[in-house]
């Protein structure tokens, strides 16, 4: 006999013994779960066949005959204890769906960027992953959230949250102020606790945005500034035709956040509808996993882009 044939025979015996162990496990499950439905004759026959198969396995003997005897019993007299193929399929799919829903509810969720309020950091058509666990455990379909004090949002982070005035509507903005901060905007410059946010002028930047009202893409130019808030460094855009952009000063209440979009003159944010309670925070934006829109169509260069 060749070495290849010997190896094939050894693999076949190993697979058969593995199948025998699985069959014994199923038979023991049947004996435990359906003990109240088995007649004394059926119960004794099941135990005898399991014992015979177990002896063959321990003594490393031939398992084909005891396996066939046990399978015959399970497939005939005890067929009511075995799961149908349809049931196994439903249970498998159900398990996958359950795990997916669990992950979506508590760990990570996909979110699509619908508007240009976060340009250039986020483009219309970006699909991102959102870390839902970092800021605490949110109970789905409620405003209940646990553990928000362990890791609250920090200045500079991009978060997804529920609109404080429009329940059910999710938004994405950057944290500019946290509870206790004094926020003011003077001549387009943001002040946090009396200190101007550090920034450097980058010049003019061309951008593409999607107009939801006309249902078409538009392009333009904006004044770009690199800003530094917390540990984040990012670019903000300003419309050169708009002047006198001011807000506040206003104190952020404890347990709430002040949010702004990076596309400052094209962002409905806390300057207009107020602060965001921590229990409305849904998660932190992590990464762009897919992107499609103007001008390239499929924006492959943005795949895997980490957000700051």
What 8-state DSSP symbol labels residue 307? Answer: P
Q: Which of 173, 267, 270, 291 is catalytic?
A: 173
Alpha carbon distance 229, 269 (integer Å): 17
Is 42 in a helix, a strand, or coil?
helix
Task: Mark whether 117 is an active-site residue.
Answer: yes
Alpha carbon distance 26, 21 (integer Å): 9
Cβ burial of 57 (10 Å; 0-12, 13-18, 19+) is middle
- Contact between residue 142 and residue 158 where contact means Cβ atoms under 8 Å apart: no
Q: Which of 25, 79, 84, 117 is catalytic?
A: 117
Structure tokens at 138: 């949110």
Chain position carrying tokens 């945005």: 209
Task: Mark whether 173 is an active-site residue.
Answer: yes
DSSP-assigned states of every residue in 244-265: ---EEEEEPPTTEEEEE-SBGG
| Positions marked active-site | 117, 173
């Amino acid at each position: 006999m060749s070495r290849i044939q010997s190896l094939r025979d050894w693999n076949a015996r190993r697979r058969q013994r593995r199948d025998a162990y699985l069959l014994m496990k199923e038979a023991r499950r049947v004996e435990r779960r359906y003990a109240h439905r088995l007649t004394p004759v059926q119960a004794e026959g099941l135990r005898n066949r399991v014992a015979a198969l177990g002896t063959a396995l321990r003594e490393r003997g031939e398992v084909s005959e005891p396996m066939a005897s046990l399978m015959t019993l399970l497939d005939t007299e005890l067929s009511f204890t075995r799961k149908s193929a349809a049931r196994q399929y439903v249970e498998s799919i159900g398990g996958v769906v359950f795990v997916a829903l669990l992950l979506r509810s508590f760990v990570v969720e996909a979110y699509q960027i619908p508007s240009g309020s976060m340009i250039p950091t986020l483009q219309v058509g970006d699909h991102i992953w959102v870390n839902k666990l970092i800021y605490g455990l949110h109970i789905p379909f409620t405003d209940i959230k646990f553990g928000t004090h362990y890791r609250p949002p920090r200045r500079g982070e991009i978060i997804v949250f529920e609109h404080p005035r429009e329940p059910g509507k999710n938004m994405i903005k950057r944290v500019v102020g946290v509870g206790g901060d004094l926020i003011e905007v003077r001549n387009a410059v943001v002040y946090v606790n009396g200190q101007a946010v550090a920034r450097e002028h980058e010049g003019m930047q061309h951008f593409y945005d999607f107009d939801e009202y006309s249902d078409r893409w538009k392009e333009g130019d904006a004044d770009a500034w690199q800003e530094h808030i917390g540990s984040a460094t990012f670019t903000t855009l300003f419309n050169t035709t708009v002047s006198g952009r001011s807000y506040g000063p206003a104190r952020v209440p404890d347990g709430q956040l002040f949010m702004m979009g990076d596309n400052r003159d094209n962002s409905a944010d806390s300057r207009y509808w107020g602060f965001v309670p921590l229990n409305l925070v849904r998660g932190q934006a992590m990464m762009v996993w897919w992107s499609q829109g103007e001008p390239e169509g499929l924006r492959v260069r943005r795949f895997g882009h980490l957000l700051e």
